[in-house]
Structure 1
Amino acid sequence: MPKPIKHPAFARFYTKLAGPGLEKAGLAEHRRRLLTGLSGEVVEVGAGNGLNFPHYPPEVKRLVAVEPEPRLRARAEQQARSAPVPVETANGRAEQLPFADGSFDAAVACLTLCSVADPHAALAEFHRVLRPGGQLRFFEHVQADAPAMRRVQRALDATVWPALMGGCHTGRDTQAAITAPGFTLTTVDQFTFPATRIPSPAATHMLGTAVRPDLGET
């Protein structure tokens, strides 16, 4: 069994304060955009406290929600009881998923790749557990476009931000990381969220879909 990743202070902060505030600011709508059209068997890695669960469409026949933080996973288990699709929760790390090759039709990463220890290893695992033609759905905050903000992101990521925010990094080049193991990007929408007058190092977000190519494709 993988060793739990414990961030108790962040788990309490996100569940009681940051999470509800972001949902009201429009995060719930982005969750719906992320999950629309999914079907079959799906794995969500870094499921947190299960806020995505109500937005899964009924065509999803099985959802496996992986979350290594025990407090968040316990809340996800509670949320699963009222979810519109069958949900199984599991302890696991993105870099070493406890599933066989080709187990799922889709994988979901929602505000997850910023905080995993090794995003390249995690994406290689997503690629492995997807069936040929399977989709990766992603919604992440990512590297900013402006050079000045990128410098701010690098400074924060090298110092206080990960320690304060549950391992989160503000400036990862997630688009490049997604394509590295062989995914093909099909849709990418980059935008600022939440919309504020004061620039934030965690405001640049990317939402989209990538596909694991079919074995018969060249």
Structure 2
Amino acid sequence: MGLQNWYDRHVLPKLINLACGQGQIMKRRAQIVPLASGHVFELGCGGGLNQEFYQSSLVSSFSGIDPHGALLDQATARARARGWKCDIREALGEDIPFASGSFDTVVCTFTLCSVDDPRQVMAEMRRILKPNGRLLFLEHGRAPDPGVAKWQKRIEPVWKRIGGGCHLTRPIGSALRGAGFDVEPLGQGYLPKSPRFASWNEWGVARRAGA
């Protein structure tokens, strides 16, 4: 096992949980995740960082995927502790192993930055949503300020290596619209007390265009 593989397997999952579990990020999770209802699917459910924010009475079942198998046991345990029927699998967002039109809500938080093919992942999320379903998103990506965006582009090659393929320059709302979603923005801005090159966030509700 090479150093990069060892890092990705043993260090990266802990680093992701630590970085994505910081206080300001959790406050933003608290603004979007409670809107989930019905049969819920979470992309990149990881160690279950969103679990505390779901309203149990609104969730009929909980499903999710994550490429990091080491994180799945924790996510499953947290879901079962909520009393939910759950189905959590190790898989990639480019090929979600659930049937089309299965879910009332898809939740995607701090995940699109690191997938290999974001357009394919968004197409998959659109596919598994029911016609009247909702995608709840909270993502970081390309900043609107040219000076910040320039630094994002410079830093991204190194950032991807230490952050599990995390990109700094991917658009968020416009990418979802391009993938066939109607987007209702609920908020955007930089995380307080965080470096701007890594902290531009957008969150909101997206629905299948034309539904």
Shared fold (TM-score, shorter chain, > 0.5): yes
> What's the CA shift for 1:7?
4.0
Indicate the SS of the match to 1:47.
Answer: coil
Alignment counterpart, residue 202 of structure 2, candidates 199, 206, 215: 206
Matches within 5 A, 1:52-63: 52-57=50-55, 58-63=57-62
Mapped partners of 1:164, 1:78: distance in 2? 28
Mapped partners of 2:35, 2:138: distance in 1? 15
- 1:92-147, Cα deviation, whole Å (9 max, x unpaired): 11111111111111111100000111111000001111111210100001111111
- Map of 1:3 onto structure 2: none
Cα distance change on mapping 1:213 and 1:12 into 2, 3 Å: same
Cα distance change on mapping 1:12 and 1:38 into 2, 3 Å: closer
Mapped partners of 1:114, 1:19: distance in 2? 12
Mapped partners of 2:147, 2:9: distance in 1? 30
Alignment counterpart, residue 8 of structure 1, candidates 7, 10, 14: 10
Mapped partners of 2:68, 2:209: distance in 1? 32
Contact 2:185–2:202 under 8 Å retained in 1: no
> What's the CA shift for 1:43?
0.7
Cα distance change on mapping 1:84 and 1:140 into 2, 3 Å: farther
Contact 2:137–2:205 under 8 Å retained in 1: yes
Could you list the runs of 4 or more consecutive aligned residues of structure 1 that deviate by over 4 angstroms after TM superposition?
none
> What's the CA shift for 1:55?
1.2
Query: Identity across aligned pairs (percent)?
Result: 32
Mapped partners of 1:87, 1:133: distance in 2? 22
> What's the CA shift for 1:199?
3.4
- Map of 2:150 onto structure 1: 151
Indicate the SS of the match to 2:94.
Answer: coil
Mapped partners of 1:55, 1:140: distance in 2? 17
Q: In proportion to residue count, which structure has more helix?
A: 2
- Map of 1:32 onto structure 2: 30
Matched, 1:66 2:50: no
Contact 1:67–1:73 under 8 Å retained in 2: yes
Mapped partners of 2:73, 2:98: distance in 1? 21
Mapped partners of 1:175, 1:209: distance in 2? 10
Q: CA RMSD in A?
A: 1.8
Indicate the SS of the match to 2:206.
Answer: strand
Mapped partners of 1:125, 1:12: distance in 2? 27
Matched, 1:105 2:107: no
- One-letter code aligned to 1:91: E
Report which stretch shifted further, 109-118 or 71-80.
71-80
Contact 2:48–2:74 under 8 Å retained in 1: yes
> What's the CA shift for 1:182?
1.2
Matched, 1:42 2:43: no
TM-score by length of 1: 0.86
Indicate the SS of the match to 2:198.
Answer: coil
Matched, 1:187 2:168: no
> What's the CA shift for 1:214?
5.2
Structure 1: runs of 5+ lacking an equivalent: 1-5
> What's the CA shift for 1:83?
2.7
- 1:26-68, Cα deviation, whole Å (9 max, x unpaired): 3222222112232111110111110111211121101102111
Cα distance change on mapping 1:84 and 1:53 into 2, 3 Å: farther
- How many residue pairs get aligned? The number is 203
